[in-house]
A and B are shown apart, each in its own frame.
Chain A
Amino acid sequence: MGEQKKEAVGTPGGRRIADIILECRNLWKIYGKIVAVKDVSLEVKEGDIKLIFGPSGSGKSTLARCLAMLTTPTKGDVFLMGECLTKPGVDLNKARAKIGFVFQHIWLFHHLSALGNIELGLRRVLKLPKNEAREQAIQALKEVKMEEWANHFPAQLSGGQQQRVGIARALAMSPEIIILDEPTSALDPELTGEVIDTLRDLAKKGTTMLVISHEMPFAREVADEMIFLDEGMIVERGQPELFFTKPSSERARRFMARLIKLTRRE
C-alpha cells in the first residue's frame, strides 16, 4: 500500500499532466450491498503497460468497465487526457471511441464479417468514407495477422482468431489506450499463445495498455507496473520483479505462489 500517490487535484477539464492518458481517482462501484471497487486510484501514462491481476471476484472487470465508462462509477472520477468523464453532460460516446476495449468473451458482432466488425466503428463513429474505412480495417487486420480471414464471420473463426479480430476492432479506432479485460481467459492454452503474441507485438509498438491478465510470463516481460487487486482494493502495486521476488503483502505473496505453481504444472 502506501505507494499510492495522492496528487493534488488540478484544474478540472484543463490538461493537467500531459502524458497521463487515463486516470481514476478514489473510484467506487457499489451494487446494492456489494462493494465491487473500493476507493481505487490509478493512472496510465502514454506508452505505459499496466497489468491488473487478482482473484476472481476481486473487481478487476468492474474496474476496467468503469475506466472505459461502460459502467458508471458510484463515486470518484475518471479522467481521459485530463478531461473528467464522470461529471454530467460529458459526451461519453466520444470518450468511449478513444478508449479501446477488448472483452473476455470477445463479443464480436455476429452478423458482420471480420472486416465488417472493424469497419462499423470507422464508418459510423469516425465517419470515414467507405473505401478509407476498408483500407484502415484491412490494415488493422494485418496488424493482428488476420487479413486472410477478412471475409469470414465470427462463427467461422477459432476463439483465438476471434479475439485477434476483437483486438483489431479496438485498435482500428486509433484509441489513446486499449483496455483488455482478461483477453485470453476464455481460450485454451494453445489459442492463448497466439493472442499473447499479438499483445507482445502491440507492446513493442509502444501501445498504451491496461491489461487484466494472469499470464505471468507475459506480465513479467512487458508490464511497466503490476497492480494486485483483492476485494475491490489495490493491495499492492509495483514493478513485476517485486511480485516475482518479494511481494510485501501476505495476500499477494500467497496469490503469486499459487499462480506460479499453476503455471509450472502446465
Chain B
Amino acid sequence: MILTGFLKTVQLTFFGLIMGLILGILLAIGDLYGGKIISTIIKFYVEFFRGSPIIIQLFIFYFSVPIMLNIRLGSTIVGFIVFALNSAAYQKGYIKGAMESVYKDQMTAALSLGLSKVQAIMYVVLPQAMRIMIPGWSNEFSSLGKSTAAILIIGERDLTAIGRTIAFRTFRFLETYAFIALIYFIFISIVLKILDIIYEKIKIPTIEISA
C-alpha cells in the first residue's frame, strides 16, 4: 500500500518536473524574445501560479475547470496538470535567469556564423543555460516533491494520503508519519545526489587551480 502511494508521489513529482521544464523553457524563450504582449501574458501566468496556494490551484482544476469546460477530470490528471503548470512558473524564472547570463555575447557570436536565432538558442544558449540551472533545478525538485502531498485534498492516494489512512487505522500516528517523512527524505536525498553528480559531470572544464 505504501509502495503504490510512493509510486504515485514519484510519478507526480517527475511528471511535474519534466513537463514544467519543457513548458518553462518555452515560457522563458517567449518572455525573452516574444515581445511585449506575450511577455505580459507570461507574467500574469507566472504571478498566478506563484501567488496562489497550490491547494486552491488543485481546487480550481478539480472543481471549476471541469464545470466551465463541461468535462470530467480525474484527480491524477488534475495533479499532473497543476504540478506541471505550477512548476513551469517557477522553472521559467530559473531558466530565464540562466539564459540571460549566457545570452548576449554568445548569441551574437552564434549569429555571426550564420546560425539562425532558433539554432543559436538550441545549440549555444540552452546547453549553457541548462548547466547553470541545475542547482536551481535541485531546489525546484525538492520543493515540488513535497508539494505533491497537497494532492490528498482532492482525494488522490499519494504517499501522504496512504500514510494518513494507516495512521488512522492503527492509531500509531508518530511512527507512521515519521516513517512517511523518512521515505520523502530518502527519495529527495537520492535524487539530489544524482543531480549533483550530473552537475559535476557536465560542468564546463576549466583550468584546475590547486592551492
Residues of A within 8 A of B (CB): 68, 70, 93-101, 103, 105, 107-111, 120-121, 124-125, 153, 155-156, 169-170, 173
By a CB distance below 8 angstroms, the chain A residues around B114 are 93-98, 121, 125, 173
What is the bound-complex CA distance between A156 and B209, given in angstroms? 11
B126: nearest chain-A partner, CB-CB: A111
By a CB distance below 8 angstroms, the chain B residues around A94 are 114
What DSSP secondary structure best describes chain A's contact surface? Answer: mixed
* A68-B112 in contact given A109-B124, A110-B128 (Cβ < 8 Å): yes
Tell me whether B109 is interfacial, beta carbon within 8 Å. yes
Contacting residue for B204 out of A93, A103, A153, A173, CB 8 A: A153
User: In the complex, are the beta carbons of B123 and A120 less than 8 A apart?
Assistant: yes
What is the bound-complex CA distance between A70 and B112, given in angstroms? 7
User: In the complex, are the beta carbons of B109 and A153 less than 8 A apart?
Assistant: no
What is the bound-complex CA distance between A173 and B115, given in angstroms? 12
Q: Can you spell out 16 A-B residue pairs with CB atoms less than 8 angstroms apart?
A: A68-B112, A70-B108, A93-B115, A94-B114, A96-B111, A96-B112, A96-B114, A97-B114, A103-B112, A107-B106, A108-B109, A124-B115, A153-B205, A155-B204, A155-B205, A170-B112
By a CB distance below 8 angstroms, the chain B residues around A173 are 113-114
Contacting residue for A70 out of B102, B106, B111, B128, CB 8 A: B111
What is the bound-complex CA distance between A103 and B205, given in angstroms? 22
User: In the complex, are the beta carbons of B115 and A121 less than 8 A apart?
Assistant: yes
What is the bound-complex CA distance between A100 and B115, given in angstroms? 12
By a CB distance below 8 angstroms, the chain B residues around A105 are 105
What is the bound-complex CA distance between A95 and B113, given in angstroms? 9
What is the bound-complex CA distance between A111 and B204, given in angstroms? 6
Tell me whether B116 is interfacial, beta carbon within 8 Å. yes
Tell me whether B127 is interfacial, beta carbon within 8 Å. yes
A157: nearest chain-B partner, CB-CB: B207
Contacting residue for A96 out of B105, B113, B123, B204, CB 8 A: B113
User: In the complex, are the beta carbons of B115 and A109 less than 8 A apart?
Assistant: no
B134 to chain A, nearest CB (A): 13
Tell me whether B206 is interfacial, beta carbon within 8 Å. yes
User: In the complex, are the beta carbons of B105 and A107 less than 8 A apart?
Assistant: yes
Contacting residue for A109 out of B110, B116, B119, B205, CB 8 A: B110
User: In the complex, are the beta carbons of A125 and B206 less than 8 A apart?
Assistant: no
In the A-B complex, the 8 residue pairs with the closest CB atoms: A97-B114, A121-B113, A155-B206, A101-B112, A107-B109, A125-B114, A153-B205, A96-B114
